[in-house]
Amino acid sequence: MRHLKEKYDLVRSASESICSGLHTEDYVVQPVVDVSPPKWHLAHTSWFFETFILIPQLSGYEVFHPAWGYIFNSYYETVGERVPRTDRGNLSRPSVDEVYAYRAHVDAAMQTLLASDSLDDELLDLIELGLNHEQQHQELLITDIKYILGHNPLFPGVYIPDLRKPEPVKDSVEWVDIPEGLYEIGARGEGFHFDNERGAHQTYLNAFGLRTSLVSNREYMAFIEDGGYQRFELWHSEGWDWVQKNSARAPLYWHERNDEWWLYDLDGLKPLTPEAPVTHVNYYEAAAYAAWAGCRLPTEAEWEVASDHFRWGDCWEWTGSAYLPYPGFTTAEGAVGEYNGKFMVSQMVLRGGSVATPDGHSRKTYRNFFQPWLQWQYMGIRLAR
């Protein structure tokens, strides 16, 4: 139990550390529907512990504010109505100070609960889910802060502790070739896994190859210079519609000034680093680049089978696989069952992790998923053939 208490403290403090360099005004902004204000993330993760753990499990627990469940519920229909996602940035109240007081209130109650020696396995699993849920929001915090500041014309930088830089991409291109055969994918054994990872099963794969390095900014610039965003034949129909509608011509955060590309990152606007892996491309862009390069994107099964043969974790890597349930997947009863299963439509799988993924939160079975037009996460490209 002591280990769990220490983990709880580390995870909760990490969320606040990410926000330590923000100004009060930064906590409230919501530029687009997919980006939530940092204040909302800090409160929502506390609401999760309060709603699913403290209220039903801690005798005498006092709810911090009876109306905050409506404000900080995300998508849990089981729990009740909530503020529309588009309106999260309109919540000038509660204040930032009140949100931090809410976190302190929840943390104190959780420490009381964790001091008990009578927590059953089901409750321990739920607490573990809550911690992993908060770690997911830590990555969203980083990328949402980047979007908020990166769409400010001042391009301000902000220091986020422990946020590392990706490894440069080598000039030499190498491939790992995997023979055809039956392979097992999915999570098996001990340790935490989300429900969408479970259900280890065999799948047949034809022989394939994966590039051991990610696609670099330099390589992606060649795609742009060769008219990649003007050549409809490289794009899926939806992707070409997206290009036309948005006048797309480069990844998110790329800015052309005096015939030179600049890139906004959390340390400000700087000249593009050619050898860094390209990031903030959506599925449409990744697939179009792969077609231009005479390759394709890997399936998620191919990625998992080959993942021990290359370094990963600098950016989430698009796969060519739709986000669908594994064989035998079942949705849990109650609100927890809404966590993953109901999103298994119209989304594509990404594998790996990113520079914004918390330590200890990555594993090769992890199935991330987003709609194909989204760019604001650290999303990159690994080629398959």
Q: How confident is the model at residue 1 (pLDDT cuts 50, 70, 90)?
A: low
Pair (108, 179) in one structural domain: no
Which CATH number characterizes residue 337's domain? 3.90.1580.10
| C-alpha–C-alpha distance, residues 127 and 109, integer Å | 13
Mean pLDDT of all residues in 226-233: 98
What is the residue range of 181's domain? 175-380
Residue 165: inside a domain, yes or no? no
Question: 216 and 109: one domain?
Answer: no
| Averaged pLDDT for residues 129-137 | 97
pLDDT surpassing 80 at residue 341: no
In a domain, 160, yes or no: no
pLDDT tens digits along 107-125: 999 999 999 888 999 999 9
Q: Are residues 106 and 208 in the same domain?
A: no
Say whether both 201 and 330 belong to one domain: yes
CATH number at residue 98: 1.20.120
- 80/120 same-domain check: yes
- State whether 143 and 229 are in the same domain: no
Q: What is the DSSP string of 127-189?
A: HHHHHHHHHHHHHHHHHHHHHHHHTSTT------TT-PPPPPPPSS--EEEE-SEEEEESB-S
| Cis-peptide into 94, omega within 30 deg | yes
144 and 181, same domain (yes or no)? no
**Total domain count for the chain?**
2
Mean pLDDT computed over 207-227:
98
The Cα–Cα gap between 40 and 169 comes to 36
**Which residue carries 């079975």 as its tokens?**
365
Q: Taking the CB of residue 117, how many other CB atoms lie within 10 A of it?
A: 5
Please, what is the Cα angle at 67 between 66 and 72, to 5 degrees? 115
